[in-house]
Amino acid sequence: MKRPPFAVLKLSMLLVLVSFVLTAGGALWSWNQAQNAAAELRQENIALNSARQKLDRSRQQQQLIATHLNAYQALAVRGFIGAEDRLAWIEAAQNANRDAGLYGLDYRLTPRMASPPALAQGLALGQTNMKLIFPVLVETDLPRFLAALKARASGVVRVSGCSLTMQGTLAFEALNQPHMQAECELQWYTVAEKTGGGS
């Protein structure tokens, strides 16, 4: 029996073994690279979806701003948004008193305070209370003054209540002298502007 020529086949077998090891290593490396690429693709898809969601939110906010910009600017011009304009409120009350043909007034303003949460509904809404005291000749002077104040008000104001009281004697006098005094409680509302950048 003849023995196979191992010396001749030795090199071929060694080459087959090396090629098998290289093929197995290449296949393992390719599989590992495919797994890494799949993981990177998943991460990129997550990042892409997150970017799309941010873009959608940004477009919605842009649409919301475009829809309400004119109303916002009108409120800002009216004095509702931003710092309170106490001088304008005092001038509005004095001019309303003059327009109604009344006899002067006294006023008191309190410091600005936060409005009740039920009224503010998440806004930075503040209110400043104003008390007005002024003489009136007849009862109809009061609604005339309030209408003039509403026309003159450079802001958002609410009259929470008024009262009339008699002053002095009830004796007849020929001159138009006011014998009643009106007291009104008002609230002026303002919303503070947000200055910080939001997310």
- Residue 94: is its pLDDT beyond 70? yes
Predicted model pTM: 0.61
Instruction: Output the average pLDDT for the chain.
Output: 85
Per-residue model confidence as pLDDT tens digits over 160-192: 999 999 876 655 555 677 788 999 999 999 887
The reply to whether CATH 3.30.70.60 applies to domain 86-191 is: yes
* pLDDT for 197: 46
Distance CA 190, CA 104 (A): 27
Give every CB contact of residue 93 below 8 A, 6+ residues apart in sequence: 105, 107, 130, 132, 149
Show me where the domains of the chain are located.
Answer: 10-78, 86-191
Is the pLDDT at 114 greater than 50, yes or no? yes
C-beta of residue 187 within 8 angstroms of C-beta of residue 161: no
Distance CA 114, CA 126 (A): 4
SS3 content of the chain, % helix, strand, coil (to 5): 50, 20, 25
pLDDT of the residue at 7 = 66
With a pLDDT cut of 70, the percent of the chain lying above it is 88
Residues 32-90 pLDDT 10s: 998 999 999 999 999 999 999 999 999 998 888 888 788 777 777 777 888 888 999 99
Angle ∠(160,166,169) on CA atoms, nearest 5? 170
Angle, helix 141-152 to helix 86-99, in steps of 10 degrees: 140
